[in-house]
Amino acid sequence: MKKTEMSEATKALEAAIAPLKDKEAHAAREAATKQLATELSKRHRILGVELRVEKPAHSAAPKRQIAVLVVDYTQRRVIEVLTADGRVIKVSDLDGFQPAPIPEEIEEAQDLAQADERLARILENDDVFVSAFSPHRSAERKDREIGLRYAISESARDIRILAEAVVDLSDLKLVHVENFETGERD
């Protein structure tokens, strides 16, 4: 069945696109960490590891590649390390791009925000919940910023966003708070 539907070009890809093995992911992380060891600041994090397939030139066999995405908070860099066979083949700065925040980053942002008295007070209400968003950015600022919305719900028809905050994980500080109930903002 599969053999009549699948093109020859796709059959040629099968080895390159097979599911990622733990061992490979681990080797890619190791290679990326080693490669960047001297240039990364202390405050960096590996956001993820995944397969990468680039369109091969027609004469070439497709390569199995694994990408490691690293964020360096202090240096305000998002770096992609491309590996093959456990060796680094390319390092690129993804300038201006902010990948989706991972849960650990959102938690870190929430902890920082909670230190603010105004936001801590809002959280005293058990019906309040917090969700992340992606704040406005300007071309000059490359800080890793996480937005947090504080909302309250008593029912589906009665949900209000009480406040918004933006936490800068590069500088480890709260950079914006707006209370929609009182109109206060800074």
Using the rule CB under 8 A, which residue among 32, 40, 112, 132 binds other proteins?
132
Nearer to other proteins, 43 or 48 (CB): 48
Cβ neighbours of residue 152 closer than 8 Å, sequence gap 6 or more: 125, 127, 128, 129, 159, 160, 162
Separation between Cα atoms, residue 162 and residue 115, nearest integer Å: 17
Using the rule CB under 8 A, which residue among 42, 55, 59, 154 binds other proteins?
55
* Exposure b/e, 84-105, CB count within 10 A at least 16 = b: beeebeebeeeeeebeebeeeb
Is residue 84 part of the contact set for other proteins (CB under 8 A)? no
Using the rule CB under 8 A, which residue among 61, 89, 115, 159 binds other proteins?
159
For residue 146, what is the enclosing H or E element? strand 145-155
For the residues of 48-89, what is the DSSP string, one character each? EEEEE-PPPPTTSPPPPEEEEEEEETTTTEEEEEEEETTEEE
Taking the complex as a whole, how short is the minimal distance between the CB of residue 185 and other proteins, in angstroms? 14
Alpha-carbon Rg for the chain in angstroms: 22
Taking the complex as a whole, how short is the minimal distance between the CB of residue 69 and other proteins, in angstroms? 5
Contacts (CB under 8 A) with other proteins, residues 32-51:
47-51
Nearer to other proteins, 115 or 137 (CB): 137
Separation between Cα atoms, residue 143 and residue 102, nearest integer Å: 16
Nearer to other proteins, 41 or 129 (CB): 129
DSSP label of 7: -
Is residue 168 part of the contact set for other proteins (CB under 8 A)? no
Is residue 183 part of the contact set for other proteins (CB under 8 A)? no
Query: Contact residues for other proteins (CB under 8 A)?
Result: 1-2, 4-10, 13, 17, 19-21, 25, 47-55, 67, 69, 80, 82, 92, 94-102, 129, 131-139, 147, 149, 151, 153, 156-157, 159-161, 180
